[in-house]
Amino acid sequence: MANPWTGEVSVTIDGVPHVCKLTLGALVGLEEALGERALVELAERFESGAFSSRDVMAVIVAGLRGGGWDGASSDLIRAEIAGGPVGAAQVAAQLLARAFSVPG
């Protein structure tokens, strides 16, 4: 079960729940995967609704890795993410919001 107070988000893939978290290492991997100079640009795309499916997939993969998963984005190509594309985008947006908000 995900703990939102520690930045965790739950995602169900092929009927199996997983905990996602954007750790510092996961954020570095996300920057490398998207070629971003600043993750603020990525967060701004999500805030404005201008994100791509590539953005969503990269954030989810980074979050899964931060949660201890050792798969690759290619493992998710045929996977069923609960809620479909909208559910996946919501998970990605929650991950970014929790990674960049200050508790309290």
Instruction: Please indicate, yes or no, if residue 18 is contained in any of the structural domains.
Output: yes
- Give the structural domain span for 25: 4-99
Instruction: Please indicate, yes or no, if residue 15 is contained in any of the structural domains.
Output: yes
* Distance between CA atoms of residues 43 and 41, nearest Å: 5
47-92 per-position pLDDT tens digit = 898 899 999 999 999 999 999 999 988 999 999 999 999 999 999 9
The model's confidence at residue 100, banded by pLDDT at 50, 70 and 90, is confident
20-45 per-position pLDDT tens digit = 999 999 999 888 888 877 788 888 88
* Distance between CA atoms of residues 31 and 93, nearest Å: 16
Domain count, the chain: 1
* Distance between CA atoms of residues 31 and 21, nearest Å: 15
Instruction: Please indicate, yes or no, if residue 104 is contained in any of the structural domains.
Output: no
Instruction: Please indicate, yes or no, if residue 87 is contained in any of the structural domains.
Output: yes
